[in-house]
Structure 1
Amino acid sequence: MYQLTFDTQAFIKQHWQQTPVVLTQAFADFVDPIAADELAGLACEEEISSRIVVTKDNQWDVIQGPFEDYDAYGETKWQLLVQAVNHWYPDSQPLVDAFRFLPDWRFDDLMVSFATPEGGVGPHIDNYDVFIIQGEGERRWKVGDKGNHQRRGGDATSPLVDDFEPIIDVVLKKGDVLYIPPGYPHCGETLSLALSYSIGFRAPSQQELLTQLADSLIDNNSGHKRFTSKSEATDPGVVSQTQQQGIMQLLAELATQPEKYQTMLGKLLSQNRFELDICEGEEPVTLEELQEMVQDNAIIARIGGLKVLRLENDQQCRLFINGEVYPLEDVTEAQLILLANTMTLDSENATDLLANASIGQLLVELINQGLYYLAE
C-alpha cells in the first residue's frame, strides 16, 4: 500500500492546477514498485511505448524503443522512459491508487524512468498535470514560472524551451513528490542512478472536443440547426459582430443539450492513449461458470489502466468503458457507483452484482473481451 502523507483536499484547494509545489516525504518509507531491470525488460516489448533520451552537450537525442540492449549508452547521460507501466505491471497499480483522490477520467498513465547520472530530457513544458515521485537515487529539479518561454531552436511544435529562471530548485529524495501544473517549464538532472515515477493527468483540448463532437453529430445524423436572423447588415461585404456571435452561439447551444454531448463525452473520457494489456482467456466464460467461480471466492478485477466511468445526471443508465457505451437495465445508482469506483470486486460484491441479470451479462462480456479477469 502507498499512503500519501499530505492533506489531499487542502492540496486541491491550494495547488491543484494552480501552482507547483514540493511535497517532502509525501510517501513515508517509499518502496519502488518496480526494479530497473524489470523496467528495462518492459522496454523490450514491441507493444509498450518507450524511449531513451541521450544528453549531448545542450541537446537531447531521442531514440524510440523497443530496446534489446543498453550497453551502447554507457554509464552516464541517458535516461530510459517507459509509458503506461500500470497497464503492464500490476504491482505498480497501488502507487496509482494513491492518487485516486483525483477523478479517473483525468488520469493518463504512470510513466517510469530510469536515469543515469547527468541524464535528463531537457527543459520543457507539459500540457498536463504531473506528480513526479522520487524512488531510488536523487534528482535535481528546477521549475520556472509561467510566461512567454521561447521554444528551443525556434521549433513551435517542440516541448523543449530555452533555459529559465527557477522558482523551485530542489533535490528530490526517496519518497518526495514534485507537483507541476500545465504550463510551467521544468527540467530534471540526475545526480545518482535513479528511478522516478510520473503520474500524469490530462483533460481534452478544444480541438479534441470539437473533433469528437463533430463525429458524434455526423454518426447520429443530428446537429442540423442553422443560423437565422431578423436583420441584416447594410454593407454587403461584411459579417456583422452580432451575426458572428449568433453563428458561434449554435455551438454554445450544444453544451446545454446533454443528449447531444453526453455519449460523446463519456466515450472520449474513457479512452486510453496507450495500448492496454488485454487479458482474454482461452475459452469464453458463461454466466453460470462465473457465478460458480465467484462462489469459490474468486475475485473479478480490471486490467491495468482500464477506465470505467459514469456520468452524473446521465439521461441513460449506462457505463462508459474503454471508449465504448455499455447500456444497463434495472440497475441502481449504488450498483453503478460500485462498478465505476471499484478496481477489484471481491467475492461478496461480485455475488451481489451477478444477481442482477444486466450486470451479470456485462461482467461476462467484459471478461470475455479481456478487459476484466478472474483472480484468487
Structure 2
Amino acid sequence: MFSLNFDISEFLTQYWQKKPILIKNAFPNFEDLISADELAGLACEEAVASRVVVTKPDDWQIIEGPFEDYEQFGEKNWQLLVQALNHWHPDSAEFINAFRFIPDWRFDDLMVSFATPGGGVGAHIDNYDVFIIQGEGQRHWTVGDKGQYAPKNNDPTTPLIEGFEPIIDVVLEKGDLLYIPPGFPHQGQTLTLAMSYSIGFRAPSQQELFSEMADALIDTNTGLKRFTSSDEPKIASQISSSHQQDLMALITELAANPEYYQAMLGKMLSQNRFELDICEPEEAYTAEDMSDYVAQGAQLYRIGGLKLLKLEDDSISRIFVNGEAIEYSAAIETEVQQLCERFTFDNQQTAMLIQTPATQALILDLLNRGYFYFGE
C-alpha cells in the first residue's frame, strides 16, 4: 500500500498548478516498483515506448527503443526512460492509486527512469504537471521560476533552454517527491545509479479541443447551422464587427451545448497516448464462463492504464472507455461507479457485481473487448 505523507488539501489549495514544491519522505519506506533489470527487459519489447538519453558535452542524444543490450552506452552519462509502466506492470496500480486526488482524465502515464551517474536531459520546460518520486540512488534537481528563457541553441522547437536561476536546489533520496507545474524550468542530474518515477498529468490545448470538436461534428453530420444577418455593411469589401461577432457566436453556441461537446470530451479524455496491453480473449466469454471463473475463486482486474470515465450531468447513462461510449441501464449506476473507481475486485466483490444481469452484461462486454480480465 502506498500512502502520501503530506496534506493533500493543502497541496491542492496552495501548490497544484501554482508553484513547485519539494516534499521530503513523501513515501515513507518507499521500495522500487520494478528492478533495473526488469525495466531493461521491458524496454526490449516492441510495444513498450522507451528511449535512452545520452549526455554529451553541451548536448544530448536520444535513441529510441526497443533495445537488445545496453553495453554500448557504458557505465555513466546515460539514462533509460520507459513510458507507461502502469500499462505493462500490474504491481504499479497501487502506486497510481495514491495520486487519484487528481481526476483520472488528467492522468497521462507513469514514466520510469534508470540512470547512470551523469545521466540527465538538461534544463527544460514541460507543458504538463509532473510528480517526480525518487527510488534507489540520488539525483540532483534544480527548479526555476516561470519566465522568459532562451531556447537551447536558438532552436524554437526544443523544450530545452539555456539555463535558469534555481528556486529549488535539492538532492532527492528514496521516497522524496518533487512536484513541478507546467511552465517551470527544471533539470535533473544523476549522482549515483538511480531509479526515479514520474507521474504526469496533462490537459488538452485549445487547438486540440477545436480539432476534436470539428472531427466529432463531421462524424455525426451535426453543426450545420449557417450564419444569418439582420444588417449588412455599407462597404462591400468590409467584414463588419457585428458579422465577425455573429460568425464566432456560431462556435460559442456549439461550445455551450452539452449535446455537442459531452460525447466529444468523453471520447477524447478517455484515450491514452501510449499503447494499452489489451487482453482480448481468443474466444468470447459467455455469462456461464463468468460464473464458472467466479465460482473457482477468480478476481476481476482492469488492464493497466485504462480509463473509465463518466460525465457529471450526462444526459445518457454511459461510460467512456478508450475513446468509446458504452451505454448501460440507469438502474445499475452504483455498480458502474464501482467499476469506474476501482482497479481490481476480489472474488467476493466480483460475485456481488455479476448478480445483477445488467451489470453482468456490461462486465461481459468489457471482458470481451479486452479491457478487463480474470486473474488469481
TM range (shorter): over 0.9
CA shift, 1:168, in A, is 1.0
Q: What's 1:83 paired with? A: 83
Q: What SS does structure 2 have at the residue aligned with 1:80? A: strand
Provide the rounded CA distance (Å) in 1 between the counterparts of 2:347 and 2:318.
23
1:47-103 Cα offsets, whole Å, 9 max, x none, are 110000111111001000011111111111101100001101111222111111111
Provide the rounded CA distance (Å) in 1 between the counterparts of 2:339 and 2:92.
21
CA shift, 1:325, in A, is 0.9
2:320 equivalent to 1:320? yes
Segments of structure 2 that go 5 or more residues without pairing to the other structure are none
2:69 equivalent to 1:69? yes
Provide the rounded CA distance (Å) in 1 between the counterparts of 2:253 and 2:9.
34
2:154 equivalent to 1:144? no
Q: What is the CA RMSD across the aligned residues, in angstroms? A: 1.3
Kindly indicate whether the alpha-carbon contact (under 8 Å) linking 1:125 and 1:184 is maintained by their aligned counterparts in 2: yes
Q: What's 1:156 paired with? A: 156
Q: What's 1:105 paired with? A: 105
Q: What SS does structure 2 have at the residue aligned with 1:32? A: coil
Provide the rounded CA distance (Å) in 2 between the counterparts of 1:311 and 1:353.
22
Look up the equivalent residue of 1:235 and give its one-letter code: I
Provide the rounded CA distance (Å) in 1 between the counterparts of 2:331 and 2:209.
30
Provide the rounded CA distance (Å) in 2 between the counterparts of 1:112 and 1:31.
14
Q: What's 1:355 paired with? A: 355
Look up the equivalent residue of 2:359 and give its one-letter code: I
2:232 equivalent to 1:232? yes
Kindly indicate whether the alpha-carbon contact (under 8 Å) linking 1:51 and 1:81 is maintained by their aligned counterparts in 2: yes
Q: What's 2:205 paired with? A: 205
Q: Which moved more, 1:352-361 or 1:301-310?
A: 352-361
Provide the rounded CA distance (Å) in 1 between the counterparts of 2:150 and 2:375.
51
Look up the equivalent residue of 1:323 and give its one-letter code: G
1:265-296 Cα offsets, whole Å, 9 max, x none, are 10101001000112233432211220232233
Q: What's 1:245 paired with? A: 245
Kindly indicate whether the alpha-carbon contact (under 8 Å) linking 1:330 and 1:358 is maintained by their aligned counterparts in 2: no
CA shift, 1:309, in A, is 0.7
Q: What's 1:195 paired with? A: 195
Matches within 5 A, 1:1-376: 1-376=1-376
Provide the rounded CA distance (Å) in 1 between the counterparts of 2:32 and 2:296.
33
Look up the equivalent residue of 2:21 and give its one-letter code: V
Kindly indicate whether the alpha-carbon contact (under 8 Å) linking 1:317 and 1:331 is maintained by their aligned counterparts in 2: no
CA shift, 1:258, in A, is 0.8
CA shift, 1:332, in A, is 3.5
Provide the rounded CA distance (Å) in 2 between the counterparts of 1:35 and 1:248.
54
Look up the equivalent residue of 1:306 and give its one-letter code: L
Look up the equivalent residue of 2:219 and give its one-letter code: D
Provide the rounded CA distance (Å) in 1 between the counterparts of 2:148 and 2:155.
14
CA shift, 1:367, in A, is 1.3
**TM-score where L is the length of structure 1:** 0.97
1:231-270 Cα offsets, whole Å, 9 max, x none, are 2332322223332222212111112211111111101010
- Structure 1 residue runs of 4+, over 3 Å off? none
**TM-score where L is the length of structure 2:** 0.97
Provide the rounded CA distance (Å) in 2 between the counterparts of 1:145 and 1:136.
28
Count of residue pairs the alignment pairs up: 376
Q: What SS does structure 2 have at the residue aligned with 1:331? A: helix
Kindly indicate whether the alpha-carbon contact (under 8 Å) linking 1:85 and 1:92 is maintained by their aligned counterparts in 2: yes
Structure 2 CA distance for partners of 1:332 and 1:365, relative to 1, 3 Å:
closer
Provide the rounded CA distance (Å) in 1 between the counterparts of 2:353 and 2:220.
32
Look up the equivalent residue of 2:174 and give its one-letter code: K
Provide the rounded CA distance (Å) in 1 between the counterparts of 2:151 and 2:25.
33
Q: Which moved more, 1:282-291 or 1:188-197?
A: 282-291
Kindly indicate whether the alpha-carbon contact (under 8 Å) linking 2:336 and 2:359 is maintained by their aligned counterparts in 1: no
Q: Which moved more, 1:352-361 or 1:125-134?
A: 352-361
CA shift, 1:330, in A, is 4.1
Provide the rounded CA distance (Å) in 2 between the counterparts of 1:334 and 1:225.
39
CA shift, 1:211, in A, is 1.0
Provide the rounded CA distance (Å) in 2 between the counterparts of 1:150 and 1:8.
35
Kindly indicate whether the alpha-carbon contact (under 8 Å) linking 1:310 and 1:336 is maintained by their aligned counterparts in 2: no
Kindly indicate whether the alpha-carbon contact (under 8 Å) linking 1:123 and 1:162 is maintained by their aligned counterparts in 2: yes
Kindly indicate whether the alpha-carbon contact (under 8 Å) linking 1:331 and 1:356 is maintained by their aligned counterparts in 2: no
Q: What SS does structure 2 have at the residue aligned with 1:234? A: coil
Kindly indicate whether the alpha-carbon contact (under 8 Å) linking 2:332 and 2:359 is maintained by their aligned counterparts in 1: no
Provide the rounded CA distance (Å) in 2 between the counterparts of 1:174 and 1:222.
53
Look up the equivalent residue of 2:73 and give its one-letter code: Y
Q: Which moved more, 1:338-347 or 1:139-148?
A: 338-347
CA shift, 1:29, in A, is 0.7
